[in-house]
Amino acid sequence: MAPGLTDIDGIKVGVVSDRDAATGITVVMIEEGARAAVEVRGSAPGTRETDLLKPGRLVEEIQALVLAGGSAFGLDAVSGAMKYLEEKGCGFQVDRFRIPIVPAAVLFDLLIGDGCIRPDEKMGYAACANASTGPVPEGSVGAGCGATVGKLRGMSGAIKSGQGSSAVCNDKLIVAALVVVNAFGDVFDQKSCLLAGPRNPITGEMEKTAELLLGNGNSGASGNTTLGIVAVNAELDRPALQKICQMAHNGLARSIWPVHTMWDGDTIFALSRGNMKADVNVVGLMAAEAVSRAVERAITTADSLCGVPAVNDLKQL
């Protein structure tokens, strides 16, 4: 079993994928509740309930996080997650009602597959029902079903991506990450070698987006976003989790370039599940490492879909 987000006790992950439409949803369930924070670094985000995660807000804990394709339309899937959790009696108590707290973020995948089919309430409910503590599904599944990278030349030159997960341990301290990579830019491996970038229309070879932008006056393309969730088995308050989110974004900067552009909606959530004491600097360092590893796995575990090749398939040509 590869290490991943479900290494943290109390966390379940569920996915639903529509490979014909090339879209899907990933739900991270914490039915007993977890403290959470968020940091948005991209300039084109699509989110729900993120204001509730700022320090000083009334509600301290969330019961689930939803990552979905479908752009803003995909936020409909949150209703399904809320319905599932309400049936389970999970949520913030208000008089005789329990209100499930389910922040969410979406990515743009409408230009691959059938963009008129998007994650909805039914898909959100099913992802919750599928959630388990088993190995995190990786590759072109869930919210990563329609994910792509290296889109400077549009979908015709893009590389198929997906979702990846990883965990970093330091004695009993565990920091894990789940990342859905749908970046405008390129992905680099742990040795800073190009792993996935736009394909040259003549040679088919992968190139570096930054060099193309600087050298030929190319412009970017909208319809991108990398989404991440990091979790730690330590007890941290919301301000500390906010800092961990910020440091976790360094993992994206190590692996994706360019990153946090005007054409991306890069967003990372952080969860605290446990009673251990931990230094926020150490946790943030481990979070960046876990995110970086998860980004690479999102590329290496992906498979080709709807005519967009994955790097593993390109190597076989």
pLDDT tens track for 176-230:
999 999 999 999 999 999 999 999 999 989 999 999 988 876 677 778 999 999 9
pLDDT tens track for 86-137:
999 999 999 999 999 999 999 999 999 999 999 999 999 999 999 999 999 9
- Average the pLDDT over 232-249 and give the result: 97
- Average the pLDDT over 65-74 and give the result: 97
91 Cβ neighbours under 8 A, 6+ residues apart: 63, 85, 97, 98, 99, 100, 101
Are the beta carbons of 278 and 169 closer than 8 angstroms? no
Q: Does residue 316 register a pLDDT over 90?
A: no
CA distance 233 to 184: 32
pTM: 0.96
pLDDT score of 17: 98
- Average the pLDDT over 49-56 and give the result: 92
pLDDT confidence band for 53 (50 / 70 / 90): very high
pLDDT confidence band for 313 (50 / 70 / 90): confident
pLDDT tens track for 137-178:
999 999 999 999 999 988 999 999 999 999 999 999 999 999
Q: Does residue 40 register a pLDDT over 80?
A: yes
For residue 206, list its beta bridge partners. Answer: 199
Q: What DSSP string runs through the chain?
A: ----GGGSTT-EEEEEEETTTTEEEEEEEEEEEEEEEEEE-SSS--EES-GGGSTT-S--EEEEEEEESSGGGGGGHHHHHHHHHHHTT-SEEETTEEE----EEE---TTSS-TT----HHHHHHHHHH-BSSPPP-BS-GGGTT-EE--TT-GGG-EE--EEEEEEEETTEEEEEEEEEE-SSEEE-TTS-EEE-PBPTTT--B--HHHHHHHH-----S--EEEEEEEEEE---HHHHHHHHHHHHHHHHHHEES-S-TT---EEEEEEEEEE---HHHHHHHHHHHHHHHHHHHHHT---BTTBPPHHHHHT-
The domains of the chain, with CATH numbers, are 5-312 (3.60.70.12)
Nearest to 269 by CA among 44, 90, 50, 108: 50
Nearest to 166 by CA among 187, 138, 194, 143: 138
pLDDT tens track for 204-215:
899 999 999 888
